[in-house]
Amino acid sequence: MSYIPPHKRHSKDPDRPSPVPDSLATKFKKNLHFNASSSDKRDRIIYSGDSITKWFLIGSNGIEDEIPLSAKLVPLSSDSVLCKKGIKPSILMSINDHNESREEEERTRWLLIAEKVQEDLVLAYERAKTAMDGENQHVLRLVASFGNNFFYGQKPSNKIFSTDVPTSYLHHIKSHLVPRHGLCIDLEKERYTVKVSHYTRPNETINCKCTVKEDGRLSMYKASLKFLLCLCLLMSYMKACVLFLEQVEHNQIRHLLVDVSCIDKNLDMRLMLAAKRKITSLTEKEISDIKGLLDSATVDPNAKGGLRWPFGKSSSGDGYSVFESCHVKATVYKNQTLRLRVRETDRYNERIGTGEVKREVILMLKDMNSKLQEQNIDRGCVLEMLRDVLGTLWDFLHCEAYLT
């Protein structure tokens, strides 16, 4: 396997949008402090008050918490790259030529990450479980995703992680890694997600999952709006509300975020523990307002995000408005310990008028997630599970020939 410098990592896909960055161990902590109410104003990203956020680099010299002398930040020149306040992102680039390493040596070096993140992972679960006590509507998920770390400015304290990957990588996943890891298709789905917020709670998003009816309009993912309206007439209001609330959820809360820059690979990796939050209460008027927004939408394959609203219909008279629309086509694979989601998303932010099309590969570490939620789990067991999982993740990163 020949070494491909990070500045040449990017896909030649014409439709591939550009990624963006997150931060460094100690410098990162000093520059960024998240609390329970903090959020990204664009993406509505919420962190718990005691969340753990880490970044480190792994290369031929092992794990580094700071950028080594053998690497530097190099600005990207492409006009298609997403700018932030007029600044184009940079990528980490090795300035030394590396001899081809043997696969066994690379894999052993990669497994050092297990020791690096073990304590943080256990601590994050302990904190998340404490925060969730009595909150039955919270569901913890541990996922790994692949993409690129993009850095802004001269100091690596402002970074965004993009989960976008080239089409060739998706083909490699489906043709090689799916059979290698004994994964089989669980389901294929196409759906739309409409994110709604209220002007009095700008940092809180309600996610409505929908499919499409024959007339080209939206229907709630598990129960159609027509069915819900019939229930409102035939049953008590409370029972109908429960069914509606099964289809909507708040934006998730992040408890752990570990970004790994893989300087000798074409892709970087993110490990994240987050809690999905089901909505437990909405008033009758709020439900009516949200359903009205969904009823007004029309599926349009030529529109960004796949949906359009008549003029003035993307907001209700009582403060609710559409924040974002997203069209998702996904194939989900599974084996006994993992769920793999390969998806294409067409997303449009209604407020700031920007959209992006991305291809994403996400591994849901379901077996490890379940065991880490058990009481008094053995730390040695956690380390062994991490090593097994990281062995699988290494396979997903060991794919340079397919990233063209």
Residue 164 phi, psi (nearest 5)? -75, 135
Q: Where are the beta strands (DSSP E) in 171-282?
A: 184-198, 201-212, 218-220, 248-262, 268-278
pLDDT on residue 31? 37
User: What are the structural domain ranges in the chain?
Assistant: 6-402
Task: Determine the pLDDT at residue 6.
Answer: 44
pLDDT at 14: 42
* 58 phi/psi in degrees, rounded to 5: -130, 130
Domain boundaries 6-402, CATH class: alpha beta
Tokens of 157: 């304290």
Q: Residue 288: what residue type?
A: S
pLDDT (0 to 100) of residue 402: 59
pLDDT for residue 43: 54
Burial of 347 (0-12, 13-18, 19+ CB in 10 A): buried
Cα–Cα distance, 120 to 115 (Å, whole number): 10
E strands, 213-319, are 218-220, 248-262, 268-278, 298-299, 307-308
**pLDDT of amino acid 229:** 39
One pLDDT digit (tens) per residue for the chain, 404 residues: 444 444 444 444 444 434 433 333 333 333 333 333 333 444 568 899 999 999 999 887 889 888 888 788 888 776 655 676 677 888 887 776 655 556 777 778 888 999 999 999 999 999 998 887 655 567 899 999 999 899 887 676 688 998 999 999 999 999 999 999 999 999 999 999 999 988 888 777 888 888 888 877 888 764 333 333 333 443 344 344 444 444 566 678 999 999 999 888 888 999 999 998 776 667 888 888 888 898 899 899 999 999 999 988 888 878 889 989 999 999 999 999 999 999 999 999 988 888 889 999 999 999 999 999 988 888 888 999 999 999 899 889 877 655 65
pLDDT value of position 171: 92
Q: Residue 324: is it exposed, middle or buried by C-beta count within 10 angstroms (0-12/13-18/19+)?
A: buried
Pairing status of strand 354-364 against strand 71-75: unpaired
- Cα(3)–Cα(94) distance, rounded to whole angstroms? 10
